Amino acid sequence: TIPSGISGNYYIIAKADADTANPVGPGTIGETNENNNAKYKTIKINP
């Protein structure tokens, strides 16, 4: 349930590889393109 009185635009933001200064550990995968690690989606909640 969405509370009343919060209509407007909101953003859902996701970011992977937040610690790029020290990318080590099990499961670490090297990348050649570090510019594709964040995405956002705008959602609109109507009154």
pLDDT in tens, 5-45: 999 999 999 987 755 556 667 767 777 777 888 899 999 99
- Residue 24 domain flag: no
Under 8 Å CB-to-CB from 22, ≥6 apart: which residues?
none
Q: Which domain holds residue 40?
A: 1-18+35-47
Rounded Cα gap, residues 17 and 12, in angstroms: 17
pLDDT in tens, 12-22: 999 877 555 56
Name the domain count of the chain.
1
- Residue 13 domain flag: yes
* pTM recorded for the entire structure: 0.53
Q: What stretches of the chain adopt beta strand conformation (E)? A: 8-15, 38-45
- Residue 23 domain flag: no
- Residue 10 domain flag: yes
- Residue 44 domain flag: yes
pLDDT computed for residue 43 by the predictor: 95
pLDDT computed for residue 33 by the predictor: 79
> Are the beta carbons of 42 and 10 closer than 8 angstroms?
yes
Rounded Cα gap, residues 4 and 15, in angstroms: 29
